[in-house]
A and B are shown apart, each in its own frame.
Chain A
């Protein structure tokens, strides 16, 4: 550790103002602060600082994503061997999944970070840390068979149009990872929907056992097929087709626990998102106008990306509501919209992506009215007090 510190201190002058590589200072800064806690001190006023800067926050989210990632890797291999009817050992299954998922992660990180670094050099600011998480979220919400160049295109779109255009990390209106997915969803629908893409190798269709369907539970439900749903244990543990990271609710809940324990994710948003979903699910149950509406409300959480979205996407501190009351409203509406889109619009089997993006757009408006109503309430209180004092 010491030798790295020494090496960094030795080459540091080259990157400072007037140095040889002045242009690359933000690149240097990115690596230095990635390796060590920065020693910058506030110059004026009294501030309390701890080491939890944005990079550490992002690292916590990455750690929280690891259970979902590991299970996603295993499930990718598991579903593949299931589709060709072969039984393999744990490590063979995991290894195949690893080979399928790793390239997607690499492509996502390389594309995104390359763009981030280029923008940081041009604009002369620090490299934004935000992509550390987005780069991990993007592979987790992709189907496993997605072509790699599409991952690259969508990542580039998300980082440039979704984030850098607005001024980089912290300024974006939409969640970058979901922007990438939405871009793919609308640009290349044949690669993002249907019943073949969720299992590695199924599009090619080699050695697939007869009658095997790769449809996700939500895909079946959207077509009105109620019979092929996995049982609750499988759905909770994640043994079903779906985007890489979304299937295992257990792994996501472990991640949620890490986020909540460290205080990085907002429990209000998570709780209210589930509450919103449950509420509308129960309303649909009460009406029960078609088969889909009779689906027990809690099972909406077990299928598709609802849980993943509620834990990792809706809680994105940049794009969610900032006010405490706003968080309740934002989460509740996100949950409701997701179920609404799922049940009432068969064209979109999964509603979580669109629900979160839509609420991202509305989050500033919610905040605005929360703040306004607070101002109004305090003004009324002030009036009352002054009236009483006069009397």
Chain B
């Protein structure tokens, strides 16, 4: 039961993006289309999960004074692995993500989970927490990218969804959806929707 909570809490009540407001920068940058967003979500999940696991395994031997450096080394190592895998198997998406794969190192969610959870919890719990956090991040990423790709390019996963007839009748793709400001507004709308369903999140 407790283990399940570790997985499901970050999806809603403790969502990294919409509740803790971490990792916003990459959420704005890689959500123009769904494909890169999904790849990004998976990459971050892998990095969070395994860095959590590794740090949790060594939490009793890591000297507190240099823990940040050690955490960074672990995260950087995992990011390089992920980057190489992406380059090998999904080269075009890896091109699109460009620097943002490398910038996973600076993603606040990862450091946040390492400091707040992995340093003081058992490996198995930490792994689950990492997967949960990554999934919570990914969920929001996919939601934003669906909105943005649908209204901004009229497609989903690269396939044209809005029929050609609409365009002939005068419909036009919304250019603002492709620009970063609209991603921020989309995040805001998602937070609004989430809070209107989940009253626990509303501060007094």
A187: Cβ under 8 A from any B Cβ: yes
B96: Cβ under 8 A from any A Cβ: no
Contact B175 A187 (CB under 8 A): yes
User: Which residues of B pack against A, CB within 8 Å?
Assistant: 170-172, 174-177, 179, 181, 185, 188, 192
Q: How far is the CA of A150 from the CA of B174 in the complex (A)?
A: 10
Produce 1/0 per residue, A168-203, CB < 8 A to B: 000000000000000100111111000000000000
How far is the CB of B175 from the nearest CB of chain A, in Å? 5
Chain A residues lying within 8 Å of B176, measured Cβ to Cβ, are 183, 186-187
Contact A161 B175 (CB under 8 A): no
Chain B residues lying within 8 Å of A150, measured Cβ to Cβ, are 172
Q: How far is the CA of A147 from the CA of B185 in the complex (A)?
A: 24
Chain B residues lying within 8 Å of A147, measured Cβ to Cβ, are 170
- From B170, B172, B192, contact of A165 by CB (8 A): B192
Most chain B beta carbons < 10 A, residue from A150, A153, A186 = A186
Contact B174 A188 (CB under 8 A): yes
Chain B residues lying within 8 Å of A191, measured Cβ to Cβ, are 172
A369: Cβ under 8 A from any B Cβ: no
Contact B175 A186 (CB under 8 A): yes
A149: Cβ under 8 A from any B Cβ: yes
- From A161, A183, A190, contact of B172 by CB (8 A): A190
Contact A188 B192 (CB under 8 A): no
Q: How far is the CA of A91 from the CA of B170 in the complex (A)?
A: 31
Chain B residues lying within 8 Å of A165, measured Cβ to Cβ, are 188, 192
Prevailing SS type, chain A contact patch: helix
Q: How far is the CA of A188 from the CA of B192 in the complex (A)?
A: 26
Report the count of interface residues on A (CB-CB < 8 A). 13
24 A-B Cβ contacts within 8 A?
A147-B170, A149-B170, A149-B171, A150-B172, A153-B174, A161-B185, A161-B188, A165-B188, A165-B192, A183-B176, A186-B175, A186-B176, A186-B179, A186-B181, A187-B174, A187-B175, A187-B176, A187-B177, A188-B172, A188-B174, A188-B175, A189-B175, A190-B172, A191-B172
Q: How far is the CA of A147 from the CA of B172 in the complex (A)?
A: 10
Chain A residues lying within 8 Å of B179, measured Cβ to Cβ, are 186
Q: How far is the CA of A390 from the CA of B170 in the complex (A)?
A: 79
Most chain B beta carbons < 10 A, residue from A147, A183, A187 = A187
How far is the CB of B84 from the nearest CB of chain A, in Å? 38
Q: How far is the CA of A105 from the CA of B188 in the complex (A)?
A: 30
Which 7 interchain pairs have the tightest Cβ spacing? A187-B176, A187-B174, A186-B176, A187-B175, A188-B172, A147-B170, A189-B175
Chain A residues lying within 8 Å of B181, measured Cβ to Cβ, are 186
Chain A residues lying within 8 Å of B172, measured Cβ to Cβ, are 150, 188, 190-191
How far is the CB of B69 from the nearest CB of chain A, in Å? 39
Q: How far is the CA of A153 from the CA of B192 in the complex (A)?
A: 20
Q: How far is the CA of A161 from the CA of B188 in the complex (A)?
A: 10
How far is the CB of B196 from the nearest CB of chain A, in Å? 10
Specify the chain B residue showing the minimal Cβ separation from A147: B170
Most chain A beta carbons < 10 A, residue from B175, B181, B188 = B175
Specify the chain A residue showing the minimal Cβ separation from B177: A187
How far is the CB of A185 from the nearest CB of chain B, in Å? 9
Chain B residues lying within 8 Å of A149, measured Cβ to Cβ, are 170-171
How far is the CB of B185 from the nearest CB of chain A, in Å? 6
Specify the chain A residue showing the minimal Cβ separation from B176: A187
Specify the chain B residue showing the minimal Cβ separation from A148: B170
Q: How far is the CA of A7 from the CA of B117 in the complex (A)?
A: 66
How far is the CB of A241 from the nearest CB of chain B, in Å? 22
Q: How far is the CA of A183 from the CA of B170 in the complex (A)?
A: 18
Q: How far is the CA of A93 from the CA of B182 in the complex (A)?
A: 40
Chain A residues lying within 8 Å of B192, measured Cβ to Cβ, are 165
Specify the chain B residue showing the minimal Cβ separation from A160: B189
Specify the chain B residue showing the minimal Cβ separation from A190: B172
